[in-house]
Amino acid sequence: MPRNRQQIPKAEREAAMVEHAWELFAAKGYKATSVAEVGRAAGVAANAVRWYFPTKDDLFAAAIGRFFAQVRARVEADPEAGGDPQRELVALLVGMEPYRGLHREAYERIVESKALGDTYARMQEWLEERLLSAIATRLPEGADVGLVADTAHVLFEGLLVSVRRSDRATGDLVELLTEALVAAAAAR
């Protein structure tokens, strides 16, 4: 006999809602997806979704955060990346590339939504940490690491949200980025 909703642990119910939300957001976008649709897909009422996620932005942030965590876990476990921060950085950006439109929609809302802002801050922190790890040994002594991180932050935002298709591989863009940041830091 199937379990009723009361018997399903809260974390499991929440994870199912987030999974269905991600599928709908990925297929239709943020604006075209309603909380009621997510509820129907998850087999719960829209009010039940709102009990877990008071706003649509909270649900969107949870879905993006879960997707980021999944891609990040795959990247960090990938033996080809081998713990190399630059390879991990490239692999994560490549893994997230098909969803640039969603990132753009989220990015447009981060000023209004604390949940989305917090989710993006965690993603940017991971990206910046990988970049700084990749270039740390190449930076001159006394380099303004904060300026390098701020510059990287702006450039990663562009890579995450740009809907422009590049004929360049993401790895080539990241390599140029790292070289440019090291050269700029050395020139200061």
What angle do the packed helices 114-135 and 170-187 form, to 10 degrees? 70
Q: How confident is the model at residue 1 (pLDDT cuts 50, 70, 90)?
A: very low
Question: Which of these, 169, 30, 34, lies nearest to 107 by C-alpha position?
Answer: 30
CA dihedral 94, 100, 106, 111 (to 10 degrees): 80
Please provide the average confidence, as pLDDT, over all residues in the chain.
87
pLDDT in tens, 81-112: 778 998 998 899 889 888 888 988 998 999 99
Q: Is 84 left (phi over 0), alpha (psi -120 to 50) or beta?
A: beta
Q: How confident is the model at residue 2 (pLDDT cuts 50, 70, 90)?
A: very low
User: Has residue 4 got a pLDDT over 60?
Assistant: no
Q: How confident is the model at residue 60 (pLDDT cuts 50, 70, 90)?
A: very high
Q: How confident is the model at residue 20 (pLDDT cuts 50, 70, 90)?
A: very high
What tokens does 24 get? 């709908």
What angle is formed at CA 93 by the lines to CA 87 and CA 96, rounded to 5 degrees?
A: 140
